[in-house]
Chains A and B, each alone.
Chain A
Amino acid sequence: MTSLNRFPFDTSVTELLVALRDGRVTSQDLVQAALAQIERYDRRVGAFLAVRGEKAMDQAREVDRRRARGEKLGPLAGLPVAVKDNLCMEGEPTTCASRMLARFVPPYDATVVARLKAADAIIIGKTNLDEFAMGGSTETSAFQKTRNPWDLERIPGGSSGGAAACVAARMVPLSVGSDTGGSIRQPAALCGVTGLKPTYGRVSRFGLVAFASSLDQIGPLAQSAEDCALLLEVLAGHDPRDATSINRSVPPYREVISHRPESIKIGYVPEMLSDGVSPDVVRTMEEALNVFRSLGAEIREVRLPHARYAVATYYIIACSEASSNLARYDGVHYGYRTDEKAMLAELAEERRRLQQEGNLAALDDLDTALVRLYRKTRAEGFGAEVKRRIMLGTYALSAGYYDAYYLKALKVRRLIRQDYDRAFETVDMILGPVTPAPAFRIGEKINDPLAMYLFDLFTVSGNLAGIPALAFPAGLSTEGLPIGVQLQGPPLSEERLLQMGHLFQQVTDWHRRRPPLIEDSPQPA
């Protein structure tokens, strides 16, 4: 691999593809490099729940063989790609980082996984996440913590924490995540990588384990907007198996990435640079606005008056949908099931005790065996955060509270969407922060759910409105932690967002900075 540098995945994916085509590097080289990097750093970072070492090597060998024979290959032929572990892959455990699905082996591929395979990408492994993608720090994973490669004492963000960390640590050039309330953009920002949440419906959700179906969207993470464009092109497109997928042709994102949009107007919301936002984030935002100004963009103030209600609105809607979606984990069809014998014995004992006490009311209320099976299974299979959200959602949907919470939130959701519609009448896109502060320390917010939720205040409104948003690195904090910004645009404006992100990355090098972890390590000669 003499033509590639020390970290092969510092090279853009476009260049890697050219090197593969010209025979300067083989897919086996790249997969080996990925596995070596994982071997070297993942014990400390914890990005992967499963690595397909042998299988990935076999596939790389096969791609190299087909290339040598001159066969026509897919657009990502031979490139290692990481996939978040809430995306089904036939025959490979798909755990959602939950005890509930610890032994679940999907009988089919998610549409995005099928598309990656059809593009001849090599899926190198499955990445860690918050349990069922519920969290913003990857700390709620039932299996392991993922650490931020920029500071191992800090969270990588979440829920796609593994997906972002493995790109930041140069283990893979491309990674697929999902974003329900910021789960691609937030970890991308905190780990110093680029991530795109596409328009709702742009990418098929078939085979994505559902969290909040009206908000979930799959998207790419990589080191640059250009690399994200390449991956999005493979992921996006209509799918008859997802009734919410948009039936519109997919632009050649990669090909048009260098087109410079004419007379771009970028808006920003001054209120987002005030109270509660760290000075490092404010400074980064101001510098990013200046970069875009120097690139010829017209910068304007815009208003999103309902933005301050986004977190409350989001958590009511997301938890309500989650409580319904997660009703399927009942210990019957697949996934974890409580020890049935022990459960039945316990229930019989309870009944005997109540009979002895003559407590007829309680006897009457006693669970049937089937209901107790559901309840014990779910009590043992789900972690604390998942239970919290199921409880919140069940409460918000329950009789007497539905109007006050769920219906009210749906109405505010429309107002949030209308704010964006109005803003996009005067500007082409909106630049804003991704998080109010850089990555926090592991454990810092884990016992304070509300503080954790409030960290999402800049990302959740994009999901509520269904609009696309590109997060990319734009600075470092005084402590040397990455800070990201995001460009949000109207529905189906991915092309323009990627173009502006690319333009930004042509004149800045924040996206090329490497975390100290991999800088300091001694390298083999």
Chain B
Amino acid sequence: MTLTRQEIEKVAFLARLILTPEELDEMTGQLGRVLEYMALLNEVDTEGVEPLAHAVEFANVFREDHVEKSLDREVALANAPHRDDECYLVPAVLGDV
């Protein structure tokens, strides 16, 4: 499995990361080698095997649908990097800056 810089750049965008040119080079080589190793799984016959997403296969867990006390707004906002009295603040979402 060889990866191109372009592919890595696309994945970095999907992952909402920015890689420096050095990181991009390094990551292309390293991830390529790891994926090559992972191709080991191709030799396993998994025909008819059900995927196992969780070691303990749970049935759905339900609870009563009633309102419980949650964090006060002030407490919930306390760790926000940018906020006003009521809300988290972010840069403009629509349009140019």
Asked whether A376 is an interface residue with its Cβ less than 8 Å from the other chain, the reply is yes
Interface string of B30-56 (1 = CB under 8 A from A): 110111011011101010011111111
Tell me, in angstroms, the Cα distance from A316 to B53 when the chains sit together: 12
Asked whether A484 is an interface residue with its Cβ less than 8 Å from the other chain, the reply is no
Interface residues of A in 244-269 (CB under 8 A from B): 244, 246
Tell me, in angstroms, the Cα distance from A376 to B18 when the chains sit together: 7
Q: Are B49 and A415 in contact (CB under 8 A)?
A: yes
Q: Are B52 and A398 in contact (CB under 8 A)?
A: no
Tell me which residues across on chain A come within 8 A of B90, comparing CB atoms. Answer: 332, 370, 373
Q: Are A391 and B15 in contact (CB under 8 A)?
A: yes
Asked whether A7 is an interface residue with its Cβ less than 8 Å from the other chain, the reply is no
In angstroms, how far is the closest chain B Cβ from the Cβ of A491?
Answer: 7
Q: Are A309 and B79 in contact (CB under 8 A)?
A: no
Tell me, in angstroms, the Cα distance from A330 to B82 when the chains sit together: 12
Q: Could you count the A-B residue pairs with CB atoms below 8 Å apart for me: how many are there?
A: 170
Tell me, in angstroms, the Cα distance from A87 to B49 when the chains sit together: 36
Interface residues of A in 101-159 (CB under 8 A from B): 103-105, 107-108
Interface string of B52-78 (1 = CB under 8 A from A): 111110100101000000010001101
Q: Are B12 and A391 in contact (CB under 8 A)?
A: yes
Tell me, in angstroms, the Cα distance from A276 to B85 when the chains sit together: 59
Asked whether A390 is an interface residue with its Cβ less than 8 Å from the other chain, the reply is yes
Q: Are B40 and A107 in contact (CB under 8 A)?
A: no
Asked whether A61 is an interface residue with its Cβ less than 8 Å from the other chain, the reply is no
Interface residues of B in 1-51 (CB under 8 A from A): 8, 11-19, 23, 27, 30-31, 33-35, 37-38, 40-42, 44, 46, 49-51
Total count of chain B residues near the partner, CB < 8 A: 50
Q: Are A394 and B34 in contact (CB under 8 A)?
A: no
Tell me, in angstroms, the Cα distance from A351 to B96 when the chains sit together: 9
Q: Range of interface residues on chain A?
A: 35 or more
In angstroms, how far is the closest chain A Cβ from the Cβ of B77?
Answer: 9
Tell me which residues across on chain B come within 8 A of A449, comparing CB atoms. Answer: 30, 33-34
Q: Which residue of B lies closest to A416 (CB)?
A: B52
Interface majority SS on B: helix, strand, loop or mixed? loop
Q: Are B46 and A408 in contact (CB under 8 A)?
A: yes
Tell me, in angstroms, the Cα distance from A467 to B56 when the chains sit together: 9
Q: Which residue of B lies closest to A463 (CB)?
A: B55
Interface residues of A in 389-447 (CB under 8 A from B): 390-392, 394-395, 398, 405, 407-415, 417
Tell me which residues across on chain A come within 8 A of B11, comparing CB atoms. Answer: 391, 394-395, 398
Tell me which residues across on chain A come within 8 A of B88, comparing CB atoms. Answer: 332-333
Q: Which residue of A lies closest to B15 (CB)?
A: A394
Q: Are A316 and B19 in contact (CB under 8 A)?
A: no
Tell me, in angstroms, the Cα distance from A201 to B57 when the chains sit together: 11
Q: A370-B91, A411-B46 are in contact. Are A379 and B37 (CB under 8 A)?
A: no
Given A411-B44, A415-B44, A450-B33; 5 other pairs, CB 8 A cutoff: A327-B16, A334-B79, A376-B18, A387-B19, A467-B55
Hey, which bits of chain B sit against chain A, CB under 8 A?
A: 8, 11-19, 23, 27, 30-31, 33-35, 37-38, 40-42, 44, 46, 49-56, 58, 61, 63, 71, 75-76, 78-82, 88, 90-93, 96-97
Going nearest first, the 5 A-B pairs with the smallest beta carbon separation are A466-B55, A410-B51, A334-B79, A337-B81, A414-B52
Instruction: Write 24 A-B pairs (CB below 8 A) sorted by A numbering.
Output: A107-B78, A243-B58, A309-B44, A312-B40, A315-B38, A316-B38, A323-B15, A331-B81, A333-B80, A369-B97, A373-B91, A388-B31, A391-B12, A392-B34, A392-B35, A395-B11, A398-B11, A398-B14, A408-B42, A409-B41, A410-B53, A414-B52, A415-B49, A463-B55
